[in-house]
Chains A and B, each alone.
Chain A
Amino acid sequence: QVQLQESGPGLVKPSGTLSLTCAVSGGSISSSNWWSWVRQPPGKGLEWIGKIYHGGSTNYNPSFKNRVTMSVDKSKNEFSLMLNSVTAADSAVYYCARAMTGDDTPDYWGQGTLVTVSS
Chain B
Amino acid sequence: DIQMTQSPSSLSASVGDRVTITCRASQDINNYLAWFQQKPGKAPKSLIYAAFFLQSGVPPKFSGSGSGTDFTLTISGLQPEDFATYYCQQYKSYPLTFGGGTKVEI
Contacts and interface: CB of A to CB of B under 8 A. Distances in A.
Interface residues on A, range: 20 to 34
**Chain B interface, DSSP helix/strand/loop, else mixed:** loop
Contact of B97 (A48, A59, A108, A110): A48
Contacts of B43: 95, 109-112
B90 to A, nearest CB: 9
A103 B91 contact: yes
A109 B100 contact: no
Interface string B70-106: 0000000000000000010101001111111100000
A109 B94 contact: no
B34 interface: yes
B100 A45 contact: yes
B8 interface: no
Given A61-B95, A111-B43, A45 B87 contact: yes
B55 interface: yes
A67 to B, nearest CB: 14
A46 B26 CA distance: 18
B86 to A, nearest CB: 11
Interface of A: 38, 45-48, 59, 61-63, 95, 100, 103-112
B36 to A, nearest CB: 8
* Shortest beta-carbon contacts, A-B, top 7: A61-B95, A105-B34, A48-B96, A109-B43, A104-B91, A46-B98, A105-B91
B18 interface: no
Contact of A109 (B32, B34, B46, B101): B46
